Amino acid sequence: MTRIRPFQPGDEPALAEICVRTADAGADATGILADDRLWGDLFVLPYVARHPELAWVVEADDRRVIGYIVATDDTDAFERWFRDEWWPTHAGRYERTGARQSELVPSGDKRGPGRIAHAGEYPAHLHIDLLPEAQGAGLGRRLIEMLLGALSHRGVPGLHLGVDPLNTGAAAFYERLGFARLPTDAGSVTYAMRIPEH
């Protein structure tokens, strides 16, 4: 029986693998970069290091982790920590080679507070990824509902997230959940939602 449970230490390798297998606009990105570990070091592992209490996983009946949601309740504080503590201990392992990797590594270098235009109004942000076997069963909706409940309990007023413009399925999913598309620069798509008070 598939179930959702809180993140536990030791889940990190499974989360990093899921991140890679969904990083190409929802499809498998294995081999796109010179080092597949970069995806996880940018988009999932810092979140469970900083906010393990805002992370949940989907576990299959054979106990494999097949999906997750991770988040921060304060984007600017998280980005400051990422810049000052996380990235300096990880950036050195990655060469700036290949088209995608030579773009992604500098994107890590540029992170910091004030980078996200809507972070004041919608301070929380999330990353959610489900392997194909976990999709279509309402698990993504349940993960987001769990996160919204936790953020509401903390008094967080809003939540935002970025979507790859090529990932039209994800965009449709967020719109069904009530996220609204925000004005953004060309080449990026941002959705946001106000969080009801607890």
Q: What is the tally of structural domains in the chain?
A: 1
User: CA angle at residue 91 from 88 to 97, to 5 degrees?
Assistant: 155
Per this entry, what is the length of the chain? 198
CATH of the domain at 33: 3.40.630.30
Helix (H) or strand (E) holding 174, with range, is helix 168-176
Instruction: Identify residue 98 by its one-letter amino acid code.
Output: G
3-state secondary structure of 173: helix
Distances (CA, A) of 113 to 70, 80, 110, 191: 19, 5, 10, 19
Question: Which pLDDT value is given to residue 186?
Answer: 67
What does each of the 198 residues of the chain score in pLDDT, given as a tens digit? 899 999 999 999 999 999 999 999 899 999 999 999 999 999 999 999 999 999 999 999 999 999 999 999 999 999 999 999 999 999 999 999 888 999 999 999 999 999 888 999 999 999 999 999 999 999 999 999 999 999 999 999 999 999 988 888 889 999 999 999 997 776 778 999 999 887
Question: Which pLDDT value is given to residue 99?
Answer: 84
Q: Which residues contact 136 (CB under 8 A, 6 or more apart)?
A: none
The runs of H, that is alpha helices, within 25-167 are: 37-43, 45-50, 75-81, 99-109, 139-153
Bridge partners of 129, per DSSP, are 68
d(CA 165, CA 27): 13
Closest Cα partner for 56 from 3, 94, 109? 3
Range of the domain at 97: 3-194
